[in-house]
Amino acid sequence: MILQVPPGSPLVIQGAAALVLGLHIGGGLVGIGAGGVALTTPKGSRPHRLAGHVFFVAMLIMSGIGAVVSPFLPQWSNVGAGMWTFYLVATGWMAARRPAGAVGRFEVGALAFALAAVALEIGLGVTAGRRPDGDLDGAPPIAFYAAAALIATTAAADLSVILRGGISGGQRLARHLWRLGVALLVAEGSFFLGQPRIFPPAFRDTPIMFVPVVATLAYMAYWLVKLLSRRRPAGRPMRPRAPSPAPAR
């Protein structure tokens, strides 16, 4: 995201633009660092919880600013990405805090937010298709429709959780992990792959730029398989009941 203000703009406008851009970039960088710590520290430990809280706040700032500011640039293709990332972080964080087997108003509100994002993306796709050049700020209609389908798939998972009255065990932890993990992947992709010019020339267009993204994806996949394949402990086997002694005659 690049914020450009017209030459000669008041200092207040220039300062506000610099602050918003700094918060957006800073939130992403802090989120990437905190997310890495949260992934690699023992689950449930104090460092894990602290890093998770920092990641939660930083990513909400980054994605929220991206979603709100993008229409004014204009970069409409980033609106859906920002809303989806914001939604993933919020629901993933709540998945760990919500008691097992319970849902509440938050889940219903998150579902409504996701459906609003789907409707927005469909509307942007229709708008892009009706333009003479067949795109909206360089993005074709299919890009918006694909984003709508992706968000709708995530919303369908939320609807399933609501209808089931909540989830527990490995499924609850997997929901927490994959949603925050995907949000981390979005931040890493935007930074390492989307901004190559800020890295030394020797690193640009090399496999090194993919290492953080691939490492996060592999680590997340490992834990998802481990969580979802975990079986509930079987109940204690019943021992055969000893026959009662025959009554004395």
Average pLDDT of adjacent 10-residue blocks, the chain of 249 residues? 62 77 90 93 90 96 92 85 95 91 93 96 94 89 95 95 91 93 93 83 86 92 87 46 49
Residue that is written with structure tokens 């800073």 in the block: 26
Whether 246 is covered by a domain: the verdict is no
User: Is 243 inside a domain boundary?
Assistant: no
Position 221 scores a pLDDT of 92
Residue 242 lies in a domain: no
Of 149, 16, 28, residue with least CA distance to 82:
28
Which residue is it, tokens 């709540």? 94
* Residue 132: cis peptide before it, omega within 30 degrees of 0: no
What per-residue confidence (pLDDT) applies to 100?
87
In a domain, 198, yes or no: yes
Domain that holds residue 106: 17-228
Residue 237 lies in a domain: no
The gap between the terminal CA atoms of the chain, to the nearest Å, is 94
Does residue 35 form part of some domain?
Answer: yes
Is residue 197 a part of any domain in this protein?
A: yes
- Domains in the chain: how many in total? 1
As a whole number of angstroms, the distance between CA 154 and CA 13 comes to 37
136 Ramachandran zone, left/alpha/beta (phi>0; psi -120 to 50) = beta
